[in-house]
Amino acid sequence: MITNGKNRTVLSQINVTPFVDVMLVLLIIFMVTAPMLQEGMDVKLPKVETSALLLSGDEPIIITIDKAGSIFVNKNRMVLSELKDKLGAIYKRKREKIVLLRADREVPYGYVVKTMAEIRRAGIERVGMMTEPPETER
């Protein structure tokens, strides 16, 4: 309340300074923690010049093999021995069975072939290999 001699008036303005302070602190917290929340797989794909794979229908399952040899179905970690059963259950009722395989370039060739064999044993007819295009010199 503001007093001017005999007249008393009520000040009806909201002080937003504490609100702005809290919002800035929250913004800083989110900016610091957001990069830590990203769960990605660090995979260095081989660089090869190739044509794009034309896909129709549903989005295919992506199987990733990282540098350590861990297998991921989309982003879920899986053991090689469970891969056949998991893919069989996923593709049980689908007509078109396509899987894309992403393997780090440092993964031994034999391990990639074993993984492809498990994919084939699950009844998947088409397996696409994901690569990166080579860097072009300018």
Is the confidence at residue 95, as pLDDT, over 70?
yes
User: Average pLDDT, stretch 73-79?
Assistant: 86
Amino acid at 58: D
Nearest residue to 104 via CA among 68, 50, 128: 68
To the nearest 10°, report the CA torsion of 47, 48, 49, 50.
Answer: -120
Q: pLDDT tier at 97 (50, 70, 90 boundaries)?
A: confident
Is the confidence at residue 87, as pLDDT, over 90?
no
Query: Rounded to an integer, what distance in angstroms lies between the CA atom of residue 91 and that of residue 121?
Result: 12
Q: pLDDT tier at 30 (50, 70, 90 boundaries)?
A: confident
Strands in the chain per DSSP E? 2-4, 7-9, 61-65, 71-73, 76-78, 98-103, 126-129
- Prediction pTM value: 0.58
What fold is seen in the domain 61-129?
Answer: Nucleotidyltransferase; domain 5 (3.30.420)
pLDDT in tens, 103-116: 888 889 899 989 98
Angle, CA 122 vertex, CA 102 and CA 69 arms, to 5°? 35
Segments of the chain assigned to CATH 3.30.420.270: 61-129
User: Average pLDDT, stretch 58-78?
Assistant: 86
